[in-house]
Amino acid sequence: MRTPTRLRTLLLAASAAALTVSGPLSAHDHEVPLPAYPVSETGDVVETIFGNEVADPYRWLEEDVRNSAKVADWVKAQSELAADYLAALPGREAYEARIKELYNYERFGIPVEKGGNYFYSRNDGLQNQSVLYVRDGLDGEPRVLIDPNKWAEDGATALAGWVPTEDGSKLLYGIQDGGSDWRTARVLDVATGEVLEDKVEWIKFSALEWAKDGSGFYYSRFPVTEEGETFQALNTNQKVYFHKLGTPQSDDVVVFETADRPELNNVGVVSNDGAYLITYSSSGTDNRYEVSLIDLAGEDRTPRVIIPGFESNFSYIGNKGSRFFFVTNENAPLQKVVAIDITSDDLAREVIIPERETKLDGVSMVGGKLVAEYLVDAKSEVSVHALDGSEIRTVALPGIGTAGGFGGDADDREVFYSFSSFNQPTAIYKYDLESGESSVWERPEVAFNPEDYTVEQKFYTSKDGTRVPMFLVRRADIAASGEAVPTLLYGYGGFNISLTPGFNPSRIAWLDAGGAYVLANIRGGGEYGKAWHDGGRRENKQNVFDDFIAAGEYLKANGITTPDGLAIEGGSNGGLLVGAVSNQRPDLVDAAHPAVGVMDMLRFDRFTAGRYWVDDYGYPSKETDFNLLLSYSPYHNVRDGTDYPAILVTTADTDDRVVPGHSFKYTAALQAADIGDKPHLIRIETRAGHGSGKPTDKAIEEAADVGAFLAYHTGLDLSGMGE
């Protein structure tokens, strides 16, 4: 598959009162004292926007911690406060030990074959970064090709994507440092392991695509930022370049740009036959593209627009001669497959696989066939089709879960795919395209029995009557007894992103302690296609919060969670979700974890990639959108005089996707407000970004801190974790 994320008008005074807080006494035999919050200086920023007097007393916390000593001091004080509190939580050390034990299993990535070499990632369990291996033949002896664990002492420099040449002789790979979205590309010789002199920088939100002859590669980059603005400046003027091997980056040639529209994203992919470069231009996060074609074999490299208008998704699958296959939602909200003959005058769309009643999530062209992945109530189903669209068979998957992969070349007879679920870590399967048989290539051994846990799918009714699915995961004995237990409810609800069953070791630790885990497939995601996404964005954003609130109400009303045992969690757009729901229904929620969240909805579009998010959120500069954003912005709607749940905010000082100022300002507002005696803390990771590339040891430590916090404030007893 080839496809190119209200402060009203009063200034709040910082509270210096020391608090003592406790979790439910039925689960804990001691209270954890909370020292006084650090005083967050309040500024005098008040702006009149569309007739609204809007205070922003913590505007100064938007400054980059690298450039502002005052922000650095605030971060240090908040981090010390949170570290002391979290370390004192009962059962935390045993909980971390269990998470570490669960993380310690061998895991593999899907192998990629080129020129008889098989490339794949592997982690022995507790390595901070997975290692890239190569085999000469599928059964050949594994050889380490790239070990990113040697790149940085703190393990925070990661291998961020890799692509071999068609003959398998060279490998193009990306380097990510400290969790940043910026990438540096390097090339190595596969036979010798030698890193070549080629070095390309300032890459972000880009494909890495070899020319089929291996002479060089295509990539997208932004201009060099001003000094001190690398991690906060808006990203504009993205161009597609070609880098010829053996030359400096300064010689790289621009092959595609939209100089008259600097706000557009531009990404290029090479056709499977190597004859064309397909370029995608988009204005935001929506899958709405203008698609152009560059004939790489011809003398005239002028791009030819074949899909104009920025109206629909057209994701290139592959081509056979002049027939190009695309996944599209044009007149098909659940998506379909079409073919376009690029030599025709009208570029008519021939329907190959028509729209079905379930969401078409992606398609691969491999071995002369089309492999289609569907989402059926957020679970994977896969079918194999001939190039005329006729269905050959379905792929027998191991159970309820998520499948992915199925990539390869036109002459491949086999493909590899992954499968995982809440109680099953990712296993890699080899699939024979002719016989339809799957066989295990690598399946990890884990420190638990998957059969000890049950995975159920339930449906509940939201505020407006919409039927919403959720996955419920519990220990089998708890599910059988029907006992109400503290429950962790997770959600996202945005950007057409589908949440599907997947494995997380820390979730198993939560289940082992006796808790339940629930994933709610709320609107705003892509589980049911365009209508589901549209139902949870812009003017419909409140539906997302209503769906999540209804999930919590369902869990309590049906005796799944205890009356005071509901924890909610979400990251990025999901952090916004948790912040908004904590404001709107603090009586429902007992503990909350908003991670790397978008918390200031009036200024999100002023930093790095934030300007893209207007597709889901709307424009703060437009009055109608502004009023909607102001109505739910977590930072602006902290409700004085209302008891709030315990809240642990998490972010990273080097997050350049959702800049940490969002979480800093939100935390300062929480701590300054009169919202009860439960703790409202922020945990700030160092040299970690939005999530990708995070070292294993940091992930384990953070999961232990968050889990222990949520457990303490929902009554989940961790005292037996070490037994």
Question: Mind telling me the catalytic residues?
Answer: 572, 690
- Distances from the Cα of 82 to the Cα of 78, 87, 681, 684, angstroms: 6, 8, 6, 9
| Burial group, residue 402, by CB count within 10 angstroms (0-12, 13-18, 19+) | buried
From the centroid of its chain, how far is CA 198? Answer: 30
CB atoms within 10 A of CB 70: 12
Instruction: Tell me how far apart the alpha carbons of residues 459 and 159 are, in angstroms, rounded to a whole number.
Output: 39
Spatial contact of 372 and 392, defined as CB atoms under 8 Å apart: no
Spatial contact of 652 and 689, defined as CB atoms under 8 Å apart: yes
Among the listed residues 185, 148, 152, the one whose alpha carbon sits nearest the alpha carbon of residue 170: 185
Torsion 10-12-13-15 (CA) sign:
positive
Among the listed residues 76, 96, 69, 16, the one whose alpha carbon sits nearest the alpha carbon of residue 700: 96
- Distances from the Cα of 340 to the Cα of 391, 596, 629, angstroms: 20, 41, 41
Helices (H) and strands (E) in the chain, counts: 11, 41
Antiparallel, parallel or unpaired: β 591-595 and 646-652: parallel
Instruction: Tell me how far apart the alpha carbons of residues 634 and 575 are, in angstroms, rounded to a whole number.
Output: 9
At 415, list the tokens: 């493909």
Instruction: Tell me how far apart the alpha carbons of residues 288 and 228 are, in angstroms, rounded to a whole number.
Output: 33
Among the listed residues 21, 31, 33, the one whose alpha carbon sits nearest the alpha carbon of residue 81: 33
Instruction: Tell me how far apart the alpha carbons of residues 441 and 680 are, in angstroms, rounded to a whole number.
Output: 46
**Where would I find the beta strands (DSSP E) of 335-437?**
336-341, 349-353, 359-366, 369-376, 379-386, 391-394, 402-405, 414-421, 424-432
Helices (H), 48-163: 69-87, 92-103
Spatial contact of 519 and 555, defined as CB atoms under 8 Å apart: no
What's at 547, amino acid-wise? D
Helix (H) or strand (E) holding 292: strand 290-295
Instruction: Tell me how far apart the alpha carbons of residues 315 and 331 are, in angstroms, rounded to a whole number.
Output: 15
Helix (H) or strand (E) holding 706: helix 696-712
Instruction: Tell me how far apart the alpha carbons of residues 653 and 690 are, in angstroms, rounded to a whole number.
Output: 10
Among the listed residues 716, 696, 653, the one whose alpha carbon sits nearest the alpha carbon of residue 74: 653
Instruction: Tell me how far apart the alpha carbons of residues 55 and 89 are, in angstroms, rounded to a whole number.
Output: 36
SS3 572: coil
Strand partners, 123: 107
At 88, list the tokens: 């004192």
Neighbouring residues of 155: CB distance < 8 A, sequence distance ≥ 6: 128, 129, 149, 695, 696, 697, 698
What b/e sequence results for 191-208 when a residue is b if at least 16 CB atoms lie within 10 Å of its CB, and e otherwise? eeeeeeebebebbbbbbb
